[in-house]
Amino acid sequence: MKLKDLDIIITAPPAPGWGGRYWILVKLTTDDGITGWGECYASSVGPDAMRAVIEDVFSRHMAAENPENIELMFRRAYSSGFTQRPDLTVMGAFSGLEIACWDILGKARNRPVWALLGGKMNDRIRAYTYLYPLPHHGLDAFWTSPVLAAEAALDCVDRGYTAVKFDPAGPYTMRGGHMPGMRDISMSVDFCKAIREAVADRADLLFGTHGQFTTAGAIRLGQALEPYAPLWFEEPIPPDAVEEMAKVARAVRIPIATGERLTTKAEFAPILRSGAATILQPALGRAGGIWEMKKVAAMAEVYNAQMAPHLYAGPVEWAANIHLAASIPNLLMCETIETPFHDQLIKGSIRVERGFITPPEIPGLGIDVDEDLARAHPYTGDGLHLQMQEAPCDYERGNNFEGGAPAPRD
């Protein structure tokens, strides 16, 4: 069995577009006709350039190779260009292709991917969701309204979720870490207070940030949130400043989570060694793939840290997350996004039920990809999957921020 053909589909979720502006799906086919699906997570280049990178990584390191040889192919890609260090774009390409190899291997052996990773540790996987507007909520008002956030949180909890994530703390700017404005701190506290009052102890609060603060600013904000006992304080400063993040971890009585922007064990290991975070959030379509993150999970186990795979992408990466999650002992939970398009793209083959996910028993990733639907929604924009804001934090008028990919208005 050899890898033969590559197909790349760049599909855009319809409005409101939760999960990013586009998803890069890859389809590999072997010389004996077995197909496997993967997903390459957001990169720092546009989709046309990323398509060329994916094609190059496949042809250079994977074409005509046995899909079993994942370690060999990883080392080729990781070492390309005399580097042997993490490369965000190359690893983003390889990760999706690697996921497709696991889908092929599971189908060839008539077993789900988790069975090839050491078997099933977890029969049920705890899911969490970001808070998104309910149908009657206005998109503009939602992001700065603790009342509407509390309504959305209660709706999630009533549907079975035991953890909800929200991010009211202000913009992610290209300028690096900033000191949060007092309005942003007050709004963050108000969100925590309103959501905690709405859900009581039925759910954990997951406070999301995206590396937007200075060390001092993160400490100042985190200490203000402590009375509401969030389960985590996510990526409070830019992800490369590991020792600075460790300072935040020592100063704030909320567990630190990080990892959605990290790739390979080389970047996760310093986080564990320094005590910067006790919850790791890899995005499998970027971080090096399933096998590399299985290694990171083992490293985290030694440090008594837990895994919470990240998702701001499509359902193919989600499926990969679920198989990794099913196979590891130190799982905390998995992020999920429930939209009709996510569900339709895999024909409902995996779903959240009362806040938990049952790992599929179907061979491979256990998903049935609607290829026609994916092709029917091509991406025609010119933005990146996620983008930093150029304008600085607004200390005068306050901030109304919707993340790196604001929802399109139909």
Give the pLDDT confidence of 69-89 residue by residue, as tens digits: 999 999 999 999 999 999 999
Q: What is the mean pLDDT of residues 320-338?
A: 98
Contact 185, 224 (CB under 8 A): yes
Q: What is the pLDDT of residues 99-153, one digit of tens each?
A: 999 999 999 999 999 999 999 999 999 999 999 999 999 888 899 999 999 999 9
The confidence score (pLDDT) of residue 405 equals: 65
Average pLDDT, the chain: 96
pLDDT at position 233 over 70? yes
Quick one: pLDDT band at residue 42, thresholds 50, 70, 90?
confident
Helix (H) or strand (E) holding 23: strand 23-30
Distance of CA 34 to the CA centre of its chain: 27
The count of residues in the chain is 410
162-205 pLDDT per residue, tens:
999 999 998 888 888 999 999 999 999 999 999 999 999 999 99
- pLDDT of residue 410 exceeding 60: no
Average pLDDT of span 295-323? 98
Band of residue 404 on the pLDDT scale cut at 50, 70, 90: low
DSSP 112: B
Pairing relationship of beta strands 352-353 and 356-357 according to DSSP bridges: antiparallel
**Least confident among 16-20, 47-51, 223-227, 406-410:** 406-410
Count the Cβ atoms, other than its own, within 10 Å of residue 7. Answer: 13
> 224 pLDDT exceeds 70?
yes
Predicted pLDDT of residue 403: 66
CA distance 3 to 226: 51
Contact between residue 76 and residue 84 where contact means Cβ atoms under 8 Å apart = no
Which residues, including other chains, have CB under 8 Å from residue 238's CB and lie 6 or more apart?
176, 177, 211
116-364 folds as TIM Barrel (3.20.20)
- CB neighbours of residue 364 within 10 Å: 26
CA atoms within 13 A of residue 140's CA, in its CB half-sphere: 1
3-state secondary structure at position 72: helix
Tell me the average pLDDT across 363-383: 97
Tokens of 374: 């994916």
Looking at residue 56, its pLDDT comes to 98
- What percentage of residues in the chain have a pLDDT greater than 90? 90
End-to-end distance of the chain based on CA atoms, in angstroms? 46
pLDDT score for 402: 74
Q: Which two tokens stand for residue 316?
A: 């193919």
Q: Report the alpha-carbon distance of residue 35 to residue 102 in Å, rounded.
A: 10
Residue whose token pair is 């077995």? 34
Q: Residue 238's closest CA among 273, 276, 264?
A: 276
Structure tokens at 183: 């309005």
